Every structure is written in C-alpha cells, then in structure tokens.
Structure 1
Amino acid sequence: MTRLDELLYEMTRYDDKDVKRIQHFLKVHEFARLIGLEENLDPYTQEVLEAAAIVHDIGIHKAEEKYGRNTGKYQEMEGPGEARTMLTALSWPQEVIDRVCYLVGHHHTYDNIDGMDYQILVEADFLVNLFEDGSTPDTQKSVFERIFRTEGGKRLFRLMFESGEE
C-alpha cells in the first residue's frame, strides 16, 4: 500500500462515517489526480497534489466546533494544523507536509495561485462543488472563466457541464 493509500484510509477514519465529506474528498482527489497526470506533473508535485486533495477539507470539523460554521476561511484557518498532525503521524516528509499544509490553508483563496499543485487543487474542488452545490449554468460559466487554466481541468469541465462534443 502506498503512502497515498494510507492517507485515504486515515482521512476516511478521520471523517468518521460522514459519508458526504468522504465522498467529496474522494472525488476531489480523483479529479486532481487525473488533471495532474494530464498536465504531466513531476512525481513529487503529483504526490503533493494528491495528498492535499485528500486532506483539503480536513478543517471542516474543527471549524464547526470552534465557530459553529465551516466557511472556506474557517477551513483555511483550522485545516493546516489538522493536516500537519495527520501527515506527521503517518511519517510523511517534512517538505511535503509543509506544502500540503500551505495548500490546505489557501484552497479557498483564488488570487495569487502559486504552483500547478495549487491551481489543480482549486480546479478539482470546483468540479466537485459545482455539481454538489447544484450551481446554475451562469455560475458554472463564471467559475470556468475566472478559475480554470489547465487543459485537463478545462476538458473535464466541458465534459461535465457543457453540452455537445468536447
């Protein structure tokens, strides 16, 4: 079993029968993995991306406990500490932990995106959220124009949300 597989199991355990959130991170992870492969990320960046996709919403539970809600800003505040604890317990390399925690702490911030791992994580999260939130075609179009930059992300968006051929 790979480190990523162990992280998938640990995050599933962490979400403790919260099936909606488990399903969410699994979908975000798969879209992030697929886009990263299409964008030909180097193996290190691919692993960072996939780890961040798995734990990207880890701050939700703590945000709900502390603030009574789980807005993106609260997730960004509470997520890095939770991610660091989990990744450290699983003996991940410190440099990977640091970047994953940065991504978790910024994945709802859409200006100054620095790095393909960050860009792809944001795109993968939007692919899932646009569907899960029942967004309108106007919202989908706006998000596409503002956020999507990778060819893989654009392709998946078009396949999922636009009618007609790719």
Structure 2
Amino acid sequence: MARNLVSIVKEKMIEYYAGDSRRVHHFLKVHSFAKLIAEMEGMEPDEMQVLEIAALAHDIGIKNAELKYGYNNGKLQEQEGPPEARRLLREAGAEDAAVERACYLVAHHHTYRNIDGLDYLILVEADFLVNMYEDKADADTIRTAYDNIFATESGKMLCRQLFSLEY
C-alpha cells in the first residue's frame, strides 16, 4: 500500500525536530485541530491535504531563525520557513502546487490580515487554539482572539468549548 503524503510529512517533521519534543507536540496539535476544523467545515480532500501538510510544517522556520539570529519571532518564522518547508515537502513527494500553497501558508501564518482562503484561516485558528493553551492565555486575550481572529463556525465553537467562553 502506498504511504500517505501527510504521514510522510509528519514523520519528516518529527525527524526534523528530533530531540525537541515541545515543538513536535505543538505541530502535531496544530495539525489535529486544523484537520478537525477542516472536516467540520466540509473542506474538499485535496485542499485539506495541503492544509494538513502546511499545519505540520507551519513552524519549520523556528530552527533556522534561532540558528541565524539567536531567537525566533513570527516574522522570522515566516521568513525562514518556506525554504525549509519547500525542501522537506518535495522530499516527501508533494506535488508542486501543493508545495507552493503550503509554503505560502508557512510564510503567512503569523499575518492576520488579508487572509485569502479557508485553508489559511483554519491554520491560523488551529495555531491560536494551541498557542492560547500552551501560553496559558488569560481570559481577555482569549476573548480578543475569539472576537478578532476566529471566523469559521467550527473554530469559534471549539474556542468557546476549550476555553469556556460565554457568548
């Protein structure tokens, strides 16, 4: 049986971040929420596959940002991520169009204006769900994110349920 592209990317990302279990756990959680939201929103399978590989690779720029600059932030992740993601996704066997869209998402996942596509929106929502939990965000931060970031009905519902928001 042929191996699934998403599984290959997942394995390659675990290898890429070997020894950094915090980062591995992070991208696995973001992937899980992205896939769930996409399924709940009825995303088409081809688009969902691109979203899934982007969700797995979304923070791939952290490693090079830290090596080059000694720290990472959202902009450096967006800058350093696409070349590494492109290499890894091509090695995994992703088609060129999927690689380019996934790299676009990696290059913009910390940019919250001009979100151009359901895949982009879902990636941002999934990353927020995980980051708010991992960062132990306070109620005001969560409510602000809910009001300003979340736009899918599924992402909003998950945010309300996970963080006991009353709306």
The TM-score normalised by the length of structure 1 is: 0.97
Which runs of structure 1 show a deviation greater than 3 angstroms over 4 or more consecutive aligned residues?
Answer: none
Q: Give how far 1:163 is off.
A: 5.3
**Residues 32-111 of structure 1: pairs in structure 2 closer than 5 A:** 32-111=34-113
- Separation (CA, whole Å) in 2 of partners of 1:68 and 1:111: 28
What SS does the aligned partner of 1:109 have?
Answer: coil
* Counterpart code for 1:160: L
* 1:104-139 residue CA offsets vs partner (Å, 9 max, x unmatched): 000000000000000000000000000101111000
- Contact 2:159–2:165 at 8 Å: present in 1 too? no
Unpaired runs of 5+ in structure 2?
none
Unpaired runs of 5+ in structure 1?
none
* 1:11-36 residue CA offsets vs partner (Å, 9 max, x unmatched): 00000110000000000000000000
User: Residue 132 of structure 1 aligns with which residue?
Assistant: 134
User: Residue 15 of structure 2 aligns with which residue?
Assistant: 13
The TM-score normalised by the length of structure 2 is: 0.96
- Separation (CA, whole Å) in 1 of partners of 2:160 and 2:125: 13
Say what the alpha-carbon RMSD is for the aligned residues.
1.1
* Counterpart code for 1:152: S
